[in-house]
Amino acid sequence: MDEQVDTVRAEMAAADLEQQYGEDAEVIATLRAAEIAALGDAAALAHWDRVISILRGDGPAGARMN
């Protein structure tokens, strides 16, 4: 998949998590990443790693999403 599309999807997921969970969004994303890692789905894990990065403020968005 196109990297730009992946980034947009991760930004949307991060925004959704921020809206739903507030300051706990990064924790929720980390839990989801752990579940995916246990399943061995490398592509999905890369998505959640990107979401976590965005929520931390070191992703493509450049700043924490709140």
pLDDT in tens, the chain (66 residues): 588 899 999 999 999 999 999 999 999 999 999 999 999 999 999 999 999 999 999 855 544 454
Structure confidence at residue 3 (pLDDT):
86
Residue written as token pair 């999403």: 65
Residues in the chain: 66
Output the pTM of the full model: 0.84
Of 30, 36, 19, residue with least CA distance to 56: 30
Structure confidence at residue 2 (pLDDT): 86
Q: Note whether 62 and 15 are within 8 A (CB).
A: no
Residue with tokens 């990107």: 50
CB 64 within 8 A of CB 15: no
Q: How confident is the model at residue 61, as a pLDDT? A: 52
pLDDT score, position 15: 98
Q: Could you tell me the residue ranges of all domains in the chain?
A: 3-56
